[in-house]
Amino acid sequence: MFDNMPPYNYTPLPPGQNTIRMLRLLPHKDRTAPIKCELIEHPLKERKGQAYEALSYVWGSTENPSSIYVNSYALEVTSNLHAALSRLRYQRFSRLLWVDAICIDQKSNVEKEQQIQLMANIYGKAENVIVWLGEEENDSTLTLARLQVAAEGESLLVDFNDTALIALLERPWFRRVWVCAA
């Protein structure tokens, strides 16, 4: 399907401005359908701009990448990011996201350097920060639900499956340097 698609080429962001790209994830009723999205420029202003969500995830292996459509062009992403976008896609409404691997031109060292300096601001201005830990496994959904109950103070005696909790906390996202430093 993507074999005949030309690859996506980034347009440089305006120099000297706090401009970022946002990913508009287009809706689809079928979670397995090809992922289609649009990249749009977005000013990162001091005051509140258009509401968006930032995705925090582990890139994962670059072997066996998956392709998505960006502005009708093909763009390769890691399989972990592809899985996250598949899960985050709404059925009826588009979703505005900031995703580093897509919103930053990874082939431009100048842009990466500039955008990395804005990341604290990008995450700070996001309406929500979504943490993608990966697909459900080892009772992780139940463990997260129990953590939510404990965090809301509804119960001090939350019955945890120790093995499932340890498996959740051993996921790669928790081993990232800035997660551990935060």
Looking at 12-16, 18-22, 47-51, 128-132, which range is the least confident one? 47-51
Could you tell me how many residues make up the chain?
182
pLDDT at 180 over 50: no
Lookup: tokens for 24 = 């508009």
Identify any residues that bridge with 40 across adjacent strands, giving them in sequence order: 22
State percent of the chain over pLDDT 90: 51
Alpha carbon separation from 48 to 44, 53, 99, 125, 150 (Å, rounded): 9, 13, 19, 7, 32
Report the sign of the C-alpha dihedral through residues 76, 81, 83, 84, in that order: negative
Alpha carbon separation from 105 to 34, 100, 138, 159 (Å, rounded): 22, 9, 35, 45
Q: Are 64 and 79 in contact (CB under 8 A)?
A: yes
pLDDT at 57 over 70: yes
Question: Which runs of consecutive H residues, i.e. helices, occur in 68-176?
Answer: 79-88, 100-103, 109-125, 140-151, 162-169
Q: For residue 50, what pLDDT is reported?
A: 80
Lookup: tokens for 167 = 């498996």
Q: For residue 108, what pLDDT is reported?
A: 94
Q: Are 5 and 73 in contact (CB under 8 A)?
A: yes
Cα–Cα distance for residue pair 22/96, rounded to 1 Å: 7
pLDDT at 71 over 50: yes
Cα–Cα distance for residue pair 71/34, rounded to 1 Å: 13
Q: What is the mean pLDDT of residues 98-121?
A: 94
pLDDT, the chain, mean: 82
pLDDT at 143 over 70: no
Q: For residue 61, what pLDDT is reported?
A: 72
Q: Is 162 helix (H, G, I), strand (E, B) or coil?
A: helix
Q: What is the mean pLDDT of residues 61-77?
A: 91
Cα–Cα distance for residue pair 124/34, rounded to 1 Å: 30
